[in-house]
């Protein structure tokens, strides 16, 4: 039996007890009404706790999604930075190799010139 039906049934017994002068019926009715009121309070508390849990779950899920997004964004930015750094490193190495080759070629040409002109 639900909280409201306990309250209504208890109130009816309580009133019937008053009208009939039956203290036991009146007392039983009052107890049943109070039981219904207490059950209504418990039901309300349970719903409040359930709502709080739902809110907490939703907040946790939202926080988790935000954390995943931040991680994904961080990974993407890190990968982009590494790719940029790698490209710059390759360019520097290529430039260094070109300069070194040029210097070697110049050195070889100078050595040949010295060898053949003397």
* Whole-structure pTM value: 0.53
Q: How far is CA 76 from CA 18, 40, 62, 95, in A?
A: 78, 54, 21, 28
CA distance 53 to 42: 16
Q: What is the DSSP string of 32-78?
A: HHHHHHHHHHHHHHHHHHHHHHHHHHHHHHHHHHHHHHHHHHHHHHH
Instruction: Tell which residue, 42, 41, 12, has the closest CA to residue 29.
Output: 12
Tell me the pLDDT tens digit for each residue of 61-86: 999 999 999 999 999 999 999 999 99
pLDDT tens per residue, range 14-71: 899 999 999 999 999 999 999 989 999 999 999 999 999 999 999 999 999 999 999 9
């Amino acid at each position: 039996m639900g909280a409201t039906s306990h309250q209504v049934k208890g109130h009816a017994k309580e009133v019937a007890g008053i009208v009939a002068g039956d203290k036991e019926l009146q007392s039983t009715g009052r107890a049943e009404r109070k039981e219904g009121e207490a059950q209504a309070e418990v039901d309300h508390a349970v719903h409040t706790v359930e709502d709080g849990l739902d809110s907490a779950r939703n907040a946790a899920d939202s926080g988790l999604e935000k954390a995943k997004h931040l991680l994904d964004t961080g990974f993407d930015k890190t990968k982009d930075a590494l790719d940029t750094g790698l490209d710059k490193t390759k360019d520097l190495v290529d430039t260094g190799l070109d300069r070194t080759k040029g210097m070697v070629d110049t050195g070889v040409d100078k050595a040949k010139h010295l060898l053949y002109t003397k």
